[in-house]
Amino acid sequence: MSDSTETDATTVETPGIGDRFPELEVQTSHGDLSLPDEYEGEWLVLFSHPGDFTPVCTSEFVAFEQRRDEFEDLGAKLLGLSVDRVHSHIKWTEWIRENLDVDIGFPIVADDQGSVAQRLGMLHPGAGTATVRSVFVVDPEGIVRLVLTYPMEIGRNIDEILRSLRALQKSDDDGVAAPADWPDNETFGDKVLLSPPSTESEARAREDELDPDRDEYYDWWFVTSDR
């Protein structure tokens, strides 16, 4: 009898925050793509949906398309995914265009074998092969920076995905952290947070080293900033 802690050879570990996005060859409604190489130098927002021709998914795809320009202004591309065939994706986007007057301009991965969803941990454990509403935000170097998972019955908030993308870019550019509800925090507005010191000497010197015109000192570990 094998040890119960032994990992099965077929087990696939799904990517988490900080992992490199796995190399995948996918078929989409816009043709074949190589991930993440196709989006090298750009941010990628990959999101899965349970199925074509379903109400919540349809509302989400319309919402993503209506905000696509905002994602692209941030250097990000959208990519959908479900376990439907490519013909289903094409027919579904035709239906959306004809009935809701919205032309879906981003590709949709046709993962009818479920291999991509399985690799990314997108399969719903209680609903056969249906994919949950997962979101992967991948940076221009192909590193997973954010993972969100919603249940099948709740549509995603596009504002939150855009906010998270802006916050990640702000953090990368300025070496800061974003507080809750940034940039509309009830107490601190659009101010960001400086990383706390890592040594006792740095903590003692913290207040003297700050820019009084930009930084507000509450304690050595809590400083807000207009940076």
Residue after which a domain boundary falls, among 127, 156, 185: 156
Q: Looking at the structure, tell me whether residues 35 and 67 fall in a common domain.
A: yes
Residue after which a domain boundary falls, among 156, 190, 209: 156
Q: Looking at the structure, tell me whether residues 86 and 142 fall in a common domain.
A: yes
CATH code, 125? 3.40.30.10
Q: Is residue 74 part of a domain?
A: yes
First to last CA, the chain: 59
CATH code, 188? 3.30.1020.10
Q: Looking at the structure, tell me whether residues 66 and 140 fall in a common domain.
A: yes
Q: Is residue 12 part of a domain?
A: no
Active site residues: 57
Domain range for 126 is 24-156
- What pLDDT digit, counting tens, does each position of 51-62 carry? 999 999 999 999
Q: Looking at per-residue confidence, does 4 or 105 come out higher? A: 105
Q: Looking at per-residue confidence, does 222 or 127 come out higher? A: 222
217: part of which helix (H) or strand (E)? strand 215-219
Q: Looking at the structure, tell me whether residues 182 and 216 fall in a common domain.
A: yes
Q: Is residue 33 part of a domain?
A: yes
Number of domains in the chain: 2
Q: Looking at the structure, tell me whether residues 145 and 185 fall in a common domain.
A: no
Q: Looking at the structure, tell me whether residues 71 and 134 fall in a common domain.
A: yes
Q: Looking at the structure, tell me whether residues 116 and 222 fall in a common domain.
A: no
| Across 5-12, average pLDDT | 42
Q: Is residue 192 within 8 Å of residue 170, measured between CB atoms?
A: yes
Helix (H, G, I), strand (E, B) or coil at 71: helix
Statement: residue 11 has pLDDT above 70: no
At residue 90, the pLDDT reads 97
Q: Looking at the structure, tell me whether residues 112 and 46 fall in a common domain.
A: yes
Half-sphere exposure of 89 (CA within 13 A, CB side): 26
Q: Is residue 1 part of a domain?
A: no
Half-sphere exposure of 68 (CA within 13 A, CB side): 17
At residue 10, the pLDDT reads 42
Q: Looking at the structure, tell me whether residues 134 and 181 fall in a common domain.
A: no
How many distinct helices (H) and strands (E) make up the chain? 6, 10
Q: Is residue 7 part of a domain?
A: no
Residue after which a domain boundary falls, among 106, 121, 156: 156
Q: Is residue 11 part of a domain?
A: no
Q: Looking at the structure, tell me whether residues 39 and 151 fall in a common domain.
A: yes
When pLDDT is cut at 50, 70 and 90, the band that residue 122 belongs to is: confident
Q: Looking at the structure, tell me whether residues 34 and 129 fall in a common domain.
A: yes
Q: Looking at the structure, tell me whether residues 50 and 128 fall in a common domain.
A: yes
- What pLDDT digit, counting tens, does each position of 157-197 carry? 999 999 999 999 999 999 999 999 999 999 999 999 999 99
At residue 6, the pLDDT reads 41
Q: Please choose, from the candidates 218, 161, 213, the residue with its C-alpha nearest in 3D space to the C-alpha of residue 187.
A: 218
